[in-house]
A and B are shown apart, each in its own frame.
Chain A
Amino acid sequence: MGQLERKRGGAPVAMRRLTLITVPYLWLLALFLIPFAIVFKISLSDIALAIPPYTPTMEDGLWALLSQLDFENFVFLTEDDLYWKAYLSSLQIALISTVLTLLVGYPMAYAMARAPEEWRPTLMMLVILPFWTSFLIRVYAWVGILSSEGFLNQFLLWLGIVDTPLKILNTNTAVYVGIVYTYLPFMILPIYAALDRLDGSLIEAAEDLGCSRLEAFWLVTIPLSKNGIIAGCFLVFIPALGEFVIPSLLGGSGTLMIGKVLFEEFFANRDWPVASAVAVILLLILIVPIVLFQRNEQRQAKAEK
């Protein structure tokens, strides 16, 4: 019986293994890598060639393909300071909101890690729950709060802190609020995981060796949750950099973010080569934090071994 079964599974093992690898492999090649190559190609072509109906002109031969390529679109990007500004301001907005998210998220993660054992699953669920809720709706919720006749302004007027409504919606401040709000779980979870793993006797050892509570926090807790902090910051920074929904909905006309520029370049101006060039450069900018993030993760995995 056993032998029979073995035989049945034995022959096609290599075939099965091949299928197992091939199917997802081909899928990703076709729907991830090739589209990417196309973006790259279009970013290097003239606008006329890229206007629909666009067809990849591979059949003209490699030389023809290469001779068509030029860096005009990239030169265009460097000449128009809209793009420069958009890149820089994306970096700035992503950076500031990452720091703000850390400032909000760390104390929460810390308190969660110190909470009684039986509360933790509930707290955890409360952090994750918004993540399952529609991103768009969570951003939209702030429109009603931050607008000039919104709840925040009504509240501030009622308190008497301000006498004229503050303009918050359609400013960068609203974008910061939106990013902090939507990406907060990404910051809390890795920090919580790091703090949860932290051996409580290390803090006791630090106190035993003469540290005050605060010193023990700075000298032991912070360095030992460093990996969680770094992971959380990247998890916020990377998607924030290419964010489109938040700056479009909460930001103003002055809010320049590269994701928004790309979207508008593509849909409003229908300038595909420039949109593709914007995408390529956004990707190049992202490579640095992504590689750093990967390295941090790998180092952490190694340290755990």
Chain B
Amino acid sequence: MIRLSPFNVVSLTLGFAFLYIPMVILVIYSFNASKLVTVWAGFSTQWYGELLRNEAFLDAAWVTLRVAIVSSTIATVLGTMAAYTLVRGGKFFGRTLFSGMVYAPLVMPEVITGLSLLLLFIGIGLDRGILTIVLAHTTFSMCFVSVVVSSRLVTFDRSLEEAALDLGASPFEAFRFVTLPIIAPAVISGWLLAFTLSLDDLVIASFTSGPSATTLPMKIWSSVRLGVSPEINALSTILIGLVTIGVISASLATKRATLRQKLDAQVAARPT
């Protein structure tokens, strides 16, 4: 095995310090008793209390959550359909345009996506609010879902589907009982990605939301523009905590699944 050189160890240490120190500071100072964010004045959880009493934040969080759940679910369905069409659709009219439209939003600056959608909504006279944010988020996140799912579909062994058809399944049944269970992990990670993108989005939501709907990032944005605030630190800590728990448990689950697979393989290989 190749051993890590001192240079490797140093670059890893510094690199991860760079990635994590800002977040650690944020978390620590969310428990600061002082309003002055850079002076430590003892441990306190008062900012969490204040955050929970702040109805504007709670409302924004609720709006964000609803938008994220609805838009990521629609985006997953549409994105999976788009992926299936791109990988399996064969030739159809306007295929190049279609694949262009699927990939373009991935690299499109958010300001442009936001601006163009806003102009559309005004043009057709659609009132801006939760609906328009959902439409906007669905549009760009379905493209991410489509990329995640199609990368799995490309490596999917097509003979499995053919075997299902050979055994009498209809194309839909073949998809439902063979393809979907196998690509499910990709579909789920696509959903998670869409969900996170929606939770996280500031720019597109700023363009497409109306006075009736303010999302959490928009709320955070309007208060951090004025500088560091302990309430935002507390909110950040909660979000970082949720993500950390989510990612770690997901990776533990994957690890356990692979471990179980390995054990099963060992058991299967054992002579009976």
Contact = CB atoms under 8 A, between A and B. Distances in A.
A touches B in complex, CB < 8 A: yes
Interface string A151-175: 1001000000000000000000000
B253 interface: no
A9 B98 contact: no
A9 B172 contact: yes
A36 B114 CA distance: 10
A207 to B, nearest CB: 12
B245 to A, nearest CB: 11
A155 to B, nearest CB: 11
B138 to A, nearest CB: 8
B16 A6 contact: no
A130 B23 contact: yes
Interface stretch (A76-84, A114-122, A221-229): A114-122
Given A55-B123, A262-B115, A5 B105 contact: no
A3 B168 CA distance: 7
Interface stretch (B5-13, B48-56, B180-188, B261-269): B5-13
Q: Place the interface of chain A in its size category.
A: 35 or more
A39 B119 contact: yes
A61 interface: no
A24 B85 contact: yes
Given A24-B81, A145-B22, A272-B119, A6 B139 contact: no
A34 B121 CA distance: 11
B8 A279 contact: no
Interface in A23-81: 23-25, 27-29, 31-36, 38-39, 42, 52-56
A276 B11 contact: no
A9 B171 contact: yes
B117 A35 contact: yes
B73 interface: no
A296 B84 CA distance: 24
A142 interface: yes
**Chain B contact surface mostly:** helix
Nearest to B193: A132
B163 interface: no
Nearest to A2: B168
Interface in B49-75: none
Given A125-B251, A262-B111, A111 B22 contact: no
A284 B101 CA distance: 16
A114 B232 contact: no
B173 A54 contact: no
A134 B111 contact: no
B247 A125 contact: yes
Given A107-B15, A123-B12, A140-B220, A32 B23 contact: no
A65 to B, nearest CB: 14
A104 interface: yes
B38 A151 contact: yes
B160 interface: no
B8 A110 contact: yes
B104 interface: yes
A303 interface: no
A299 B110 CA distance: 28
B142 A24 contact: yes
Contacts of B135: 31
Point out which of A29, A123, A138 has the most chain B C-beta atoms below 10 A from its C-beta. A138
A266 B235 CA distance: 29
Nearest to A122: B251
A190 interface: no
A137 interface: yes
25 contacts: A1-B168, A13-B171, A20-B85, A21-B85, A21-B92, A24-B78, A25-B94, A31-B135, A38-B123, A54-B123, A56-B123, A128-B247, A135-B200, A136-B202, A136-B221, A137-B232, A147-B228, A184-B19, A238-B107, A242-B108, A245-B221, A249-B224, A266-B115, A275-B115, A279-B115
Interface of A: 1-3, 5-6, 8-10, 13, 16-17, 20-21, 23-25, 27-29, 31-36, 38-39, 42, 52-56, 104-105, 107-108, 110-112, 114-117, 121, 123, 125-130, 132-138, 140-145, 147, 149-151, 154, 181, 184, 200, 238-239, 241-245, 248-249, 259, 262-263, 266-267, 272, 275-276, 279, 282-283, 286, 290, 293
Given A134-B200, A134-B220, A140-B228, 15 more contacts: A8-B170, A21-B98, A24-B78, A27-B138, A32-B139, A35-B120, A53-B125, A112-B12, A132-B243, A136-B217, A137-B26, A141-B25, A144-B38, A184-B19, A279-B115
